[in-house]
Amino acid sequence: MNLRAIFLLTGWVALLAGCASSGPAPVIERVRPQAIEHAAPPEHAAPIEVKPGYYLVKKGDTLRGIALEHGQDYKDIAAWNNLDNPNLIRIDQVLRVVPPGSSNEGEVAGAETRPITPPVQIESRPVENKAVVTDSLKREPKGGTQPYTNEAWALLQKPAQATAATVPAATVLPPVKPAESTAKPMAAADIDWAWPTANKVTTSFSEAGSKGLDFNGTAGDSVLAAASGKVTLVTNSLRGYGNLIVIKHNATYLSVYAHNSKMLVTEGQTVSKGQKVAEIGSSDSDHPNLHFEIRREGKPVDPAKYLPQR
């Protein structure tokens, strides 16, 4: 056997050995793709019911800001809602913002309910006309021989049917115009208001703009309490107000003093009208000024309608 034949034989043997050691070729099963069933979208959560006297917490809210918007002390709101930490509230949390039992909850406190007695039904029946004419002969009325007219005869025969002319016309009185109230609707009862500073007003109240009055000034000028009351908030956590003081004067009215440089009172402190509570500054503002608000039940009103004439 020559060398070439040996090489060919060796190659065939190696090829046969390789085929014997390898397993069968894998079989790929092709499955026809099926349509993917999309899961139904999750149902939207039911809207949260917010009753009168309650507030639904939104993103960015703070308990102090909520209290200011509703004219309350944030500590009271924390107590009404059993909040151990006033700084921890969550989105979509429903908070009571009026005192328990308040009429603002949609309930009338002390209202008495009584059963309504149905009116007595009075049966009405047509009046029988017993004066029936049995013949066409018109007879004279007894006791007189004076001539009479057909209209008089008809009236005698039917006394229950009086003509409009026999009934005196009712006197119609003109409606009484209610007396106009002389009370000033914008006046805050039992509050003796004063100006919070002697400085000049630079910006007036506007529903669409400033929610109060802005005063010019120099850093360090005095900020005075506009009326006697209790300090319910001393903070710098409300954006746009800087160093802020809130004084509550009664259950309805409070006053707001913003952009202070130095605050001279603490929460819970009682102050008198004209007492220095802060100094004018530029906190959260581009220049020294005082922003002053009067709020009625948490809603800003025009201070110029409350403050005395200068």
Mean of pLDDT over the chain: 76
pLDDT at residue 11 in the model: 59
- Mean pLDDT score, 275-300: 96
We find that the CATH architecture of domain 54-102 is: Roll (3.10)
pLDDT at residue 115 in the model: 40
Domain boundaries, the chain: 54-102, 201-305
The pLDDT-based confidence of 86 (bands split at 50, 70, 90) is: confident
SS3 230: strand
Residues 6+ positions from 98 with CB-CB distance below 8 Å: 53, 70, 72, 104, 105
- Mean pLDDT score, 239-252: 95
Q: pTM for the whole thing?
A: 0.59
What is the rounded distance in angstroms from the CA atom of residue 216 to the CA atom of residue 290?
7
- Residue 49's Cβ-side half-sphere holds a number of Cα atoms within 13 Å equal to 1
Classify domain 201-305 at the CATH superfamily level. Glucose Permease (Domain IIA) (2.70.70.10)
Tokens standing for residue 16: 């046969």
| Contact present, 105 and 51 (Cβ < 8 Å) | yes
Residues 6+ positions from 257 with CB-CB distance below 8 Å: 196, 223, 244, 245, 246, 247, 277, 278, 290, 291, 292
pLDDT at residue 126 in the model: 53
What is the rounded distance in angstroms from the CA atom of residue 191 to the CA atom of residue 229?
9
The pLDDT-based confidence of 48 (bands split at 50, 70, 90) is: confident
65-74, 110-119, 263-272, 293-302: range with lowest mean pLDDT? 110-119
The pLDDT-based confidence of 186 (bands split at 50, 70, 90) is: very low
150-164, 261-275, 288-302: range with lowest mean pLDDT? 150-164
Most confident of 9-23, 124-138, 177-191, 241-255: 241-255
Tokens standing for residue 215: 């005063």
pLDDT at 303 over 60: yes
How far is residue 305 CA from its own chain's centroid? 24
The residue with greater pLDDT, 237 or 104, is 237
Strands (DSSP E) contained in the chain are 54-56, 94-96, 201-203, 213-215, 222-224, 229-235, 243-248, 253-263, 270-271, 276-280, 290-296, 299-301
pLDDT at 52 over 70: yes
The pLDDT-based confidence of 175 (bands split at 50, 70, 90) is: low
Phi-psi group of 70: left, alpha or beta (phi > 0 → left; psi -120 to 50 → alpha; rest → beta): alpha
pLDDT at residue 310 in the model: 86
pLDDT at residue 297 in the model: 93
| Contact present, 254 and 237 (Cβ < 8 Å) | no
Long-range contacts formed by 152-157: CB under 8 A, 24+ apart: 157/131, 157/133
| Contact present, 256 and 212 (Cβ < 8 Å) | yes
The pLDDT-based confidence of 46 (bands split at 50, 70, 90) is: confident
